[in-house]
């Protein structure tokens, strides 16, 4: 007859291992995969992402620096980016960076006006990871295609306030 004690230790060990796997593995698996964006149960379906000039040494938002606002609809993929405080009459690209250097997806390209304002429109369907506004000369490729960063000048970029599609206590806010 077997003693129940070894089974209890094995069961406890199995439960501990299972708990670890349930907590740790999804984060590792999700970090490197494209997943469908989180769905909003109700509402307009419009979401927004704020973009900011950041200090590359600290990644703190530059007070009074350039800013942007990306409003998009998950269902249709339609988006509008409005940015201000950029270099006047300069070419820019809205890119999606998915942690595979130097690869980016180029969502749209355009030129800022005489006051440094930029408006870009387009359609995109993968609302995950990082979205940046970069000077057009820093990225190779056409809008709607995969491209690559050919320079790294973060002091000239607008960076997202947070990565999209990553679970956190700061869900993508809906637009009214």
Looking at the fold, whether 103 and 147 belong to one and the same domain comes out as: yes
Name the residue with tokens 């909003």.
40
Mean pLDDT along residues 145-156? 96
pLDDT tens digits, one per residue of 73-125: 989 999 999 999 999 999 999 999 989 999 999 999 999 999 999 999 999 99
pTM: 0.70
Residues 6, 50, single domain; the answer is no
By residue range, what is the domain housing residue 98?
46-160
Q: Same domain, yes or no, for 90 and 150?
A: yes
Question: Which H or E run includes 20?
Answer: helix 4-31
The per-residue pLDDT for 138 is 98
pLDDT of amino acid 61: 95
What is the pLDDT at residue 154?
97
Condensed to tens digits (0 to 9), the pLDDT of residues 44-66 reads 688 999 999 999 999 999 999 99
Q: Is residue 41 part of a domain?
A: no
- Domain match, 28 and 86 both: no
Number of domains comprising the chain: 2
Regarding whether 104 and 131 lie in a shared domain, the answer is: yes
Q: Quick check: is 39 in a domain?
A: no
Residues 83/118, Cβ–Cβ less than 8 Å = yes
| Residue 92 and residue 18 share a domain | no
My answer on whether 123 and 88 are in the same domain is yes
- Check whether residue 24 and residue 106 sit in a common domain: no
Place of tokens 């390209």: 109
Residue 24: pLDDT over 50: no
Instruction: Let me know the angle formed at the C-alpha of 53 by 49 and 39, rounded to the nearest 5 degrees.
Output: 15
Token output for 150? 């050919």
94 three-class SS = strand
For residues 129 and 54, membership in a common domain is answered with: yes
pLDDT of residue 164: 79
- Among candidates 103, 107, 149, which has minimal Cα distance to 127? 107
């Amino acid at each position: 007859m077997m003693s129940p004690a070894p089974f209890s230790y094995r069961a406890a060990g199995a439960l501990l291992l299972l708990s670890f796997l349930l907590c740790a593995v999804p984060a590792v698996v999700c970090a490197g995969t494209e997943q469908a964006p989180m769905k909003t149960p109700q509402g307009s379906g419009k979401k927004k992402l704020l973009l900011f000039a950041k200090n590359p040494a600290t990644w703190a938002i530059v007070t009074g620096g350039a800013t942007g606002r990306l409003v998009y609809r998950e269902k249709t993929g339609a988006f509008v980016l409005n940015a201000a405080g950029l270099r006047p009459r300069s070419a820019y690209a809205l890119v999606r960076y998915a942690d595979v250097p130097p690869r980016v997806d180029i969502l749209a390209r355009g030129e800022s006006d005489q006051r440094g304002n930029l408006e870009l429109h387009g359609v995109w369907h993968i609302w995950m990871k990082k979205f940046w506004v970069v000077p057009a000369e820093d990225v190779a490729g056409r809008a709607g295609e995969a491209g690559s960063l050919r320079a790294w000048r973060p002091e000239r970029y607008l960076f997202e306030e947070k990565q999209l599609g990553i679970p956190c206590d700061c869900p993508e806010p809906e637009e009214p």
